[in-house]
Structure 1
Amino acid sequence: MYVAVKGGEQAIGNAHAWLAEERRGDPAVAELGIAQIREQLAQAVNRVMAEGSLYDPDLAALAIKQARGDLIEAIFLLRAYRTTLPRFGASRPVDTADMACDRRISATFKDVPGGQVLGPTFDYTHRLLDFKLAAEGEVPPAPERDPATGPVPHVTGFLNREGLIEEEPGVDTIPPDLTREPLEMPAGRPLRLQSLSRADEGFVLSMAYSTQRGYARNHAFVGELRIGAVAVEMDVPELGFAIEIGEITLTECETVNQFTGSKSEPPQFTRGYGLVFGQTERKAISMALVDRALRWEELGEDFEGAPAQDAEFVLSHADNIQATGFLEHIKLPHYVDFQAELELVRKLRREAEEVRSSALMGGLASHDGQEAAE
């Protein structure tokens, strides 16, 4: 229990004004525009969209500007805005096999139809500060890129031909919407994937790293990582068919994991899956590793007591907005609570002092009696 803030309106108003001044920074420096944030801080924009559950680069950029670069605060702003939007309907599941890939790599096969496309990546850069960027010079244009032609098949499909990897389990029912209904346990895989997709990147990364260090050990290969644009289609009852309403950029990761088999299944590979808004490959890979760790029960594996295997632990602590709200509320006034605790500690100290005094007096009396007997 905590008491609400009452009074101090002028102080709160002054704090807001000071915050706006700090957010603007030195007026002599040109103000950062929404377009600049959207185009030049794209990784931050992607994270805010993914964890804010709203695909809109301009709104994500605005939230980052308003939050002074605090991405969790920006995610909070975007989620709050999302709740005000009307819902017109549901789109069809996107078909990532038709993705126009900017980046598509596989760690399991060297030669794959469609080829390995490195795309824009930090993977092969030297981690050295580039002081040329401080000069704000023009960037030379990248080489011409051949447009993708036709669908790009998923790498795991090649293993599927030989029956070496599990079939992706289908879902007959419409999964619950985590943005409209609270998370309930036990959570099926569709709900777990929703939760992981909008979970805090750092938390999911830590959980994934723990699986690689031996907690819920399941050796993973990146079967495929692809980044690109996919069409979003929506059924229009008045037309009787689906129309394309736009396209979004997604990162998809499928991992290939070891599986020794069970009483009903032969030895084969199993899957982990990650899908996230924007170019967010660290999050997508982490999500796939954690997804696979959480599947231990349905695959008939033993529970090793690893944190990444505990769905209730992972999903209940993965959301950074819930965590932030619970964490930061303790800096609000708790005067009544603390006074009660303070009085309790004082009372306990008085009682302890009385016990010590009684013991001391009893000891002295015993010592005096012993001396008198002697």
Structure 2
Amino acid sequence: MYVAVKGGERAIDNAHAWLAEERRGDASVAELSVAQIREQLALAVNRVMAEGSLYDPDLAALAIKQARGDLIEAVFLIRAYRTTLPRFGTSHPVDTGAMACDRRISATFKDLPGGQVLGPTFDYTHRLLDFALAAEGEAPHTPEREADDAAMPRVMDFLNREGLIEEARPSDDVPPDVTREPLAMPADRALRLQVLSRADEGFILGLAYSTQRGYARNHPFVGELRIGTVAVEMDVPELGFAVEIGEIALTECETVNQFTGSKTEPAQFTRGYGLVFGQTERKAISMALVDRALRWEELGEDDVGAPAQDAEFVLYHADNIQATGFLEHIKLPHYVDFQSELELVRKLRREASADADGHQEAAE
């Protein structure tokens, strides 16, 4: 039950003013620009774009600044802004096989066509604080690198040639749009992947970790993880053909999971899949693990009761904006609700006290 509260506008205005002052911080320190956040806090920007379902680095950086670094609040701002934007068309499915890769690794094959491309990663750092970064004005060292726009074959294709992994089943069906239609159960894989792609990274990470610890039948290998840019194309009715309207950065992860088989079907590995805006590899890997766990029924496996196997539990609790709204509303005024429960508790205590006194008198 929600109770409307009137009044207190002056206090609210003062709270907003105080928030703006706190956001700015010490005025003697130079203010962060949106461009600085976009360029130097790129991973935070990528997360806000992914969970906000809007690819715009400048707007994501602005939201982070406005939210004082609270990424969930920034996602909230981006989603709210997204609802004001008109939709003027639908792009073609992007071809991640033609991705211009900045990073491309495989944990299943050491030598593969196109090679392993380590790219920008924390994987090989020592996790020691670099106090040189505290010195201002130092130009970072940029290593020489050769641009390689050649298409890199998919690692999964190597397994697919021998029938060692389940074959991907593309569909021409138009999937529902979770940004415009409420989530409904049961959800097919296309809808589940949409929800997972914009789900809270921490929640999906926790579920993925649980599958590795035994709370689902999941033994994954990273078949391929690739990060790079892909072209976005859409049809222009006046021209009668598709044109490229821009490029976006994506992280794609395909996992090789435990094999399945039967008396009539030979053993073969199964797949998990993750695709997220920007360089968001932890999220993409987690998404692939949870995707695979949710596929237990279609693969003819047993439900072992793991949280990551429960589609309704996963999908309805993965959205951090819905979770935040439901959680934080309890700090808003609930005076009438509480007073009614308070009076009920007092009444029960009075009745209990009266019963106790009655028993005492009867005993005497």
Residue 137 of structure 1 deviates from its aligned partner by: 4.2
Q: Which residue of 1 aligns with 2:89?
A: 89
Asked if the contact 2:37–2:61 (Cα under 8 Å) also holds between the matched residues in 1, the reply is yes
Q: Check 1:73–1:359 CA distance in 2 against 1; reply closer, same or farther (3 A cut).
A: same
Q: Check 1:149–1:247 CA distance in 2 against 1; reply closer, same or farther (3 A cut).
A: closer
Supply the distance in 1 between the matched residues of 2:283 and 2:37 (Cα, whole angstroms): 21
Q: Check 1:312–1:262 CA distance in 2 against 1; reply closer, same or farther (3 A cut).
A: farther
Supply the distance in 1 between the matched residues of 2:90 and 2:266 (Cα, whole angstroms): 38
Alignment of 1:63 with 2:63, yes or no, is yes
Q: Which residue of 2 aligns with 1:108?
A: 108
Supply the distance in 1 between the matched residues of 2:298 and 2:325 (Cα, whole angstroms): 33
Q: Which residue of 2 aligns with 1:198?
A: 198
Q: Which residue of 1 aligns with 2:305?
A: 305
Residue 265 of structure 1 deviates from its aligned partner by: 3.4
Residue 142 of structure 1 deviates from its aligned partner by: 2.2
Rg larger in 1 or in 2?
1
Q: Which residue of 2 aligns with 1:134?
A: 134
Residue 304 of structure 1 deviates from its aligned partner by: 0.2
Q: Which residue of 2 aligns with 1:352?
A: 352
Question: Which piece of structure 1 moves more, 211-220 or 254-263?
Answer: 254-263
SS at match of 1:283: helix
Q: Which residue of 2 aligns with 1:328?
A: 328
Residue 170 of structure 1 deviates from its aligned partner by: 1.9
Supply the distance in 2 between the matched residues of 1:151 and 1:168 (Cα, whole angstroms): 20
1:151-208 CA deviation, whole Å, 9 max, x = no partner?
A: 1111000000000000112223100000000000000000000000000000000000
Q: TM-score, normalised by structure 1?
A: 0.96
Supply the distance in 2 between the matched residues of 1:362 and 1:195 (Cα, whole angstroms): 64
* Aligned residue type for 1:301: E
* Aligned residue type for 2:350: R
Q: Which residue of 2 aligns with 1:174?
A: 174
Alignment of 1:343 with 2:343, yes or no, is yes
Q: Which residue of 2 aligns with 1:99?
A: 99
SS at match of 1:290: helix
Q: Which residue of 2 aligns with 1:368?
A: none
SS at match of 1:259: strand
* Aligned residue type for 2:362: G
Supply the distance in 1 between the matched residues of 2:159 and 2:137 (Cα, whole angstroms): 47
Supply the distance in 1 between the matched residues of 2:102 and 2:282 (Cα, whole angstroms): 16
* Aligned residue type for 1:123: D
Q: Which residue of 2 aligns with 1:371?
A: none
Q: Which residue of 2 aligns with 1:10?
A: 10
Supply the distance in 2 between the matched residues of 1:246 and 1:264 (Cα, whole angstroms): 47
* Aligned residue type for 1:94: V
Q: Which residue of 2 aligns with 1:370?
A: none
Equivalent positions of 1:213-362 (< 5 A) are 213-262=213-262, 265-362=265-362
Please list every run of 5 or more consecutive structure 2 residues that lacks an aligned counterpart in the other structure.
Answer: none
Residue 149 of structure 1 deviates from its aligned partner by: 3.8
Kindly tell me the number of residue pairs found equivalent between the two proteins. 364
Asked if the contact 2:101–2:149 (Cα under 8 Å) also holds between the matched residues in 1, the reply is no
SS at match of 1:258: strand
SS at match of 1:234: strand
Asked if the contact 2:260–2:270 (Cα under 8 Å) also holds between the matched residues in 1, the reply is no
SS at match of 1:18: helix
Q: Which residue of 1 aligns with 2:75?
A: 75
Asked if the contact 1:104–1:226 (Cα under 8 Å) also holds between the matched residues in 2, the reply is yes
Please list every run of 5 or more consecutive structure 1 residues that lacks an aligned counterpart in the other structure.
Answer: 365-374
Question: Which piece of structure 1 moves more, 277-286 or 354-363?
Answer: 354-363
* Aligned residue type for 1:252: E
Residue 264 of structure 1 deviates from its aligned partner by: 5.4
Residue 361 of structure 1 deviates from its aligned partner by: 1.2
SS at match of 1:2: coil
Amino-acid identity (%): 82
Supply the distance in 2 between the matched residues of 1:260 and 1:232 (Cα, whole angstroms): 36
Residue 262 of structure 1 deviates from its aligned partner by: 3.6
Q: TM-score, normalised by structure 2?
A: 0.99
Asked if the contact 2:212–2:218 (Cα under 8 Å) also holds between the matched residues in 1, the reply is yes
Supply the distance in 2 between the matched residues of 1:149 and 1:332 (Cα, whole angstroms): 53
Supply the distance in 2 between the matched residues of 1:320 and 1:262 (Cα, whole angstroms): 40
Q: Which residue of 2 aligns with 1:372?
A: none
1:262-288 CA deviation, whole Å, 9 max, x = no partner?
A: 465321101000000000000000000
Alignment of 1:21 with 2:21, yes or no, is yes
Asked if the contact 1:5–1:332 (Cα under 8 Å) also holds between the matched residues in 2, the reply is no
Q: Check 1:12–1:264 CA distance in 2 against 1; reply closer, same or farther (3 A cut).
A: farther
Structure 1's consecutive aligned runs of 4 or more residues displaced over 3 angstroms after TM superposition are: 262-265
* Aligned residue type for 2:231: A
Q: Which residue of 1 aligns with 2:186?
A: 186
Asked if the contact 1:262–1:300 (Cα under 8 Å) also holds between the matched residues in 2, the reply is no
SS at match of 1:81: helix
Supply the distance in 2 between the matched residues of 1:32 and 1:142 (Cα, whole angstroms): 23
Q: Which residue of 2 aligns with 1:121?
A: 121
Q: Which residue of 1 aligns with 2:155?
A: 155
Q: Which residue of 1 aligns with 2:165?
A: 165
